[in-house]
C-alpha cells in the first residue's frame, strides 16, 4: 500500500457516501419537478464524459486523469502529494457552460479555481474558493470555453487531490450543422481525356508559378482515369499533379511531368513545394526529368522509362524523396547531393554526391557508404502510404492505405487490390479559403474529416484534431498560417490520425509550436494504429516575418513521420538571425517514433531534439543556420554550436541510418561547429553512415558525432564520414 508523507500506512479511502448520493438524486429530481426550475428549462448536457483529460500529475498508474471523466463513481483521478495540482478536460469544441459537478474523494481541495480556456493555454477564472467542504459540489458556471480546468492550490489532507468524477455541463456552441462533400473550388483543375486545351491550361499555371517561390497561388491538377497524349506538364511552385485512379496505371500520360531549373539559371537547389502522385508516364524521350530539392515528393508514380533527378546542364540539386513508385528504367541521380527512396522498385541507380539512402527498394544499389555514398536497408520497418483522392465511378473518395511491416516494393501493382479503406467525400468537410478556425473545428467536432483545397488559410485559434482515425488532407500545398501566436494544429492522444499534403507557415507573432502530435506526458500505446505525418511541411520566414519556438513536436508514441521539410528560411522576406527566430525544428518526446525522410534546416539552436525511447530515423538531411552572426551567438555552454541532431542523455535505445549535416556560415566563416551529431554513448544508441560537410569552407566541423570523427577543413567541400557509432 502507498505510504503517507509521514510514513504511516495509508488506510483505504471511503467512497462517496450513500446519503450524499441519494440527496443529490433527490435534489436533481425536485429541480426538474419544481415550476420555473432553471435546470429543467436549460436542459444542460454532460459534455465532459469520455473526453480527453490530462493532469499535472497522478498518484499512480491506477488513478489516471481519464478516470475522472469516465462516468464511473468507482474510479478516480488522484495527484501526487503536493500543491498546486490541476486536472483539465478538452470538450472537443467550444461550449456554453452552465455547471460543473465535482465528486471529491476524502482527499479533496480546500482552495481551488475553476478555469476556462479556448485554446488550452490561456485561462480565465470562472469560480474560486478557499473554504471548500469536499463531498459533491455543484457549481453554477457561466462562460464559453473548450477546455475546463480544476486548479487546486491548497489540499485539505496530507494526501493529494482526488476526484471520483469531474463533470462539465452546458450546451455546445456549434452553430448550424456543416455539410460534407461539395465541389473542390476553382484552384482544383480536373481533366479527362476529352477535355480540350489541357496543355494550354498546364502552361498557363506554370507561367504563373514557375518562379513564384513565396507567392500565394496554390493549384492542384487532377487527371481522371484514362490515357492522355502529347502532354508536358511543367510543375512550378505550390502545384500538385495527381491521377484519380485507384492505381497509378489507371491514369497514363504519354508525355512528361517535368521539373527543371531554367527560372534559377539551371540551379535546382530552390525547387521546393510541389508534388507528383498516382500517375503512369511514358516519357517522350524515354526519360522523365524531376529536378527538385526539398518538399517535392514523387509518390505512387509509374515511370515507364528512366528518371533524371538533375536539371538541364546538370547544375546543383539538393535532395528529394521517392516513395511507393516504380521506375522501369534507370534513375539518374547525377548532381543530387542527397536523396531518399522508400518502398519502391527501380531498374537501376547511377551516381550520387554525398548521401543516398534506400529502404525497401527493389533494384536499389548495394550498401557502399561512403564510396559510393549508398546506405541500403532491405526493408522499411513500418510504413503506411499517404492517403489520396480518387474517383469511384463519378464519386470522389479518399483511399487510406493500410500499415505495412517490413515493407519492400510498392503497395500496388500486379493486379492486386490495394490494402486499406475508402472514405467518401461526403464524410469530409471541404475547406475553402476564408474558412475560419472556428468553422474548421466545428466540422471536426461533427465527426467530419478535412480536405483543404488549394489556398492560404489564416487561423486565429488552434485546429484541434481529437477524433481517432481523422484524415486531414491538403490539395495543392494548402497553407495554414497561425495568427496571434497560436499553435496551428494539435492532434489528440488518439489512434490513427492521418495528416498529409499541407504546409504550415509561421506567423509574425511567436508561436510556441506550429504542429503538435499528442499532449505532453501521454502514456498511451498507439502501435496498432499510429498517427502518420506525410508531406507536411513547416516554414518559418521566407514569405514574410515568422517566429516559432519549435516547428513540430511529437508527443504521441509510435508516430510515423514520413517525409517532412522543417525549414527556418535562409532567403526570402522576413529573414534574419532574430527576425525569423526559431530555436528548435523537430522535437520528439514520444517513444517508438519512426522518421523516414527527415529534412530539418537552419534553426537557431538544435534542429532535432530526440527525447523519446526507441526512436529511429532513416535518412536525415540538415544545414545549420547560415546567418549566425558570430561564434558567441551559437555557443552552447562549453560546446561550440548546437548539434544538428541531438539524442537526449537519458535515452537508452535509438538508431539512425544515413544522416548528414552541412554548415555554411556565410556571415562569419570562422565559426567552428563542435559536431553535427550528439548522443549518449550507450550500447542501445547506434548510428550508421554519418557525414558532415563544410560548404566551401564557410565554417568547419571539428567532429562528426560527439568527439568522434575527423574534422572538416579547407574549402574543398569534402565530407568527413563515419561508418558507425559507437
- Where in the sequence numbering do the catalytic residues fall? 623
Beta bridge partners of 233: 257
CB 209 within 8 A of CB 245: no
CA gap 540, 41 in Å, rounded: 50
CA gap 650, 645 in Å, rounded: 15
CB 183 within 8 A of CB 133: no
CA distances 415 to 34, 248, 254, 411, 418, Å, are: 69, 11, 21, 11, 9
- DSSP alpha helix (H) spans, 486-598: none
CA gap 464, 444 in Å, rounded: 8
Residues 6+ apart with CB under 8 A from 400: 387, 420, 421, 422, 423, 471, 498
Residues 6+ apart with CB under 8 A from 197: none
CA gap 602, 565 in Å, rounded: 11
> How far does the chain reach from its first CA to its final CA, in angstroms?
43
Q: DSSP E strands: which ranges in 602-680?
A: 608-610, 615-623, 645-647, 654-663, 672-678
The candidate with the shortest Cα–Cα distance to 705, out of 715, 686, 684, 690, is 690
The candidate with the shortest Cα–Cα distance to 151, out of 91, 106, 109, is 109
CB atoms within 10 A of CB 268: 29
CB 501 within 8 A of CB 297: no
CB 661 within 8 A of CB 644: yes
Burial of 170 (0-12, 13-18, 19+ CB in 10 A): buried
CA gap 465, 451 in Å, rounded: 13
The candidate with the shortest Cα–Cα distance to 247, out of 419, 380, 454, 403, is 419
The candidate with the shortest Cα–Cα distance to 161, out of 101, 83, 88, 90, is 83
Burial of 29 (0-12, 13-18, 19+ CB in 10 A): exposed
Strands 456-459 and 471-482, by their bridges, are parallel
Amino acid at each position: 500500500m502507498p505510504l503517507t508523507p509521514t510514513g504511516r500506512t495509508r488506510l483505504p479511502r471511503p467512497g462517496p457516501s450513500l446519503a450524499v448520493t441519494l440527496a443529490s438524486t433527490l435534489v436533481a429530481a425536485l429541480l426538474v419537478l419544481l415550476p420555473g426550475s432553471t435546470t429543467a428549462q436549460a436542459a444542460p448536457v454532460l459534455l465532459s464524459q469520455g473526453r480527453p483529460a490530462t493532469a499535472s500529475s497522478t498518484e499512480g498508474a491506477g488513478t489516471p486523469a481519464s478516470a475522472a471523466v469516465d462516468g464511473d463513481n468507482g474510479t478516480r483521478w488522484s495527484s501526487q502529494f503536493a500543491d498546486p495540482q490541476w486536472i483539465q478536460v478538452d470538450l472537443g469544441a467550444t461550449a456554453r457552460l452552465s455547471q460543473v459537478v465535482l465528486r471529491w474523494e476524502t482527499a479533496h481541495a480546500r482552495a481551488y479555481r475553476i478555469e476556462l480556456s479556448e485554446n488550452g493555454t490561456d485561462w480565465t477564472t470562472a469560480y474560486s474558493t478557499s473554504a471548500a467542504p469536499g463531498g459533491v459540489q455543484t457549481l453554477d458556471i457561466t462562460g464559453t470555453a473548450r477546455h475546463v480546468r480544476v486548479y487546486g492550490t491548497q489540499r485539505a489532507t496530507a494526501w493529494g487531490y482526488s476526484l471520483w468524477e469531474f463533470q462539465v455541463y452546458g450546451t455546445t456552441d456549434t452553430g448550424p450543422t456543416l455539410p460534407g462533400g461539395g465541389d473542390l473550388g476553382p484552384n482544383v483543375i480536373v481533366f479527362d481525356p476529352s477535355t480540350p486545351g489541357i496543355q494550354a491550361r498546364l502552361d498557363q499555371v506554370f507561367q504563373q508559378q514557375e518562379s513564384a517561390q513565396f507567392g500565394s497561388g496554390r493549384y492542384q491538377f487532377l487527371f481522371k482515369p484514362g490515357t492522355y497524349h502529347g502532354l508536358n506538364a511543367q510543375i512550378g511552385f505550390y502545384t500538385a499533379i495527381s491521377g484519380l485512379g485507384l492505381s497509378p496505371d489507371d491514369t497514363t500520360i504519354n508525355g512528361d511531368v517535368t521539373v527543371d531549373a531554367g527560372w534559377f539559371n539551371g540551379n535546382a537547389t530552390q525547387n521546393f513545394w510541389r508534388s507528383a502522385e498516382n500517375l503512369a508516364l511514358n516519357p517522350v524521350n524515354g526519360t522523365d526529368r524531376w529536378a527538385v530539392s526539398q518538399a517535392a515528393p514523387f509518390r505512387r508514380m509509374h515511370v515507364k522509362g528512366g528518371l533524371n533527378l538533375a536539371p538541364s546542364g546538370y547544375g546543383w540539386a539538393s535532395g528529394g524523396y521517392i516513395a511507393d513508385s516504380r521506375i522501369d528504367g534507370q534513375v539518374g541521380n547525377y548532381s543530387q547531393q542527397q536523396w531518399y527512396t522508400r518502398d519502391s522498385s527501380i531498374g537501376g541507380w547511377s551516381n550520387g554526391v554525398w548521401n543516398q539512402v534506400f529502404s525497401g527498394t527493389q533494384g536499389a544499389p548495394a550498401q557502399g557508404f561512403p564510396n559510393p555514398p549508398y546506405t541500403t536497408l532491405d526493408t522499411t520497418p513500418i510504413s503506411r502510404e499517404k492517403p489520396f483522392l480518387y474517383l469511384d465511378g463519378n464519386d470522389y473518395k479518399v483511399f487510406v492505405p493500410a500499415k505495412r511491416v517490413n515493407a519492400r516494393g510498392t503497395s500496388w501493382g500486379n493486379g492486386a487490390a490495394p490494402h486499406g479503406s475508402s472514405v467518401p467525400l461526403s464524410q469530409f468537410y471541404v475547406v475553402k479559403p476564408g474558412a475560419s478556425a472556428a468553422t474548421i473545428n466545428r466540422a471536426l467536432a461533427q465527426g467530419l474529416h478535412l480536405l483543404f483545397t488549394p489556398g492560404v488559410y489564416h487561423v486565429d485559434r488552434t485546429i484541434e484534431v481529437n477524433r481517432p482515425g481523422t484524415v486531414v488532407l491538403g490539395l495543392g500545398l494548402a497553407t495554414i498560417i497561425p495568427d496571434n501566436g497560436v499553435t496551428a494544429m494539435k492532434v489528440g492522444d488518439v489512434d490513427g490520425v492521418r495528416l498529409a499534403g499541407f504546409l504550415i507557415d509561421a506567423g509574425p507573432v511567436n508561436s510556441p509550436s506550429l504542429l503538435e502530435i499528442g499532449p505532453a506526458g501521454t502514456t498511451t500505446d498507439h502501435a496498432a494504429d499510429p498517427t502518420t505525418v506525410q508531406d507536411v511541411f513547416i516554414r518559418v520566414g521566407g514569405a514574410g516575418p515568422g517566429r516559432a519556438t519549435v516547428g513540430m513536436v511529437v508527443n504521441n508514441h509510435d508516430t510515423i513521420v514520413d517525409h517532412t521539410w522543417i525549414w527556418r528560411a535562409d532567403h526570402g522576406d522576413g529573414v534574419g538571425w532574430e527576425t525569423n527566430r526559431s530555436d528548435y525544428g523537430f522535437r520528439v518526446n514520444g517513444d517508438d517514433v519512426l522518421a523516414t525522410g527527415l529534412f530539418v534546416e537552419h534553426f537557431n539552436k538544435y534542429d532535432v531534439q530526440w527525447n523519446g525511447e526507441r526512436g529511429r530515423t532513416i535518412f536525415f538531411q540538415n544545414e545549420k543556420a547560415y546567418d549566425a552572426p558570430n561564434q558567441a551567438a551559437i555557443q552552447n555552454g562549453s560546446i561550440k554550436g548546437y548539434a544538428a541532431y541531438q539524442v537526449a542523455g537519458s535515452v537508452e535505445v535509438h538508431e539512425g541510418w544515413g544522416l548528414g549535416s552541412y554548415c555554411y556560415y556565410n556571415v562569419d566563416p570562422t565559426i567552428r561547429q563542435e559536431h553535427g551529431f550528439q548522443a549518449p554513448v550507450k550500447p542501445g544508441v547506434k548510428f550508421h553512415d554519418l557525414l558532415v560537410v563544410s560548404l566551401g569552407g564557410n565554417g568547419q566541423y571539428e567532429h562528426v558525432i560527439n568527439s568522434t570523427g575527423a574534422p572538416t577543413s579547407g574549402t574543398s567541400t569534402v565530407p568527413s564520414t563515419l561508418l558507425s557509432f559507437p
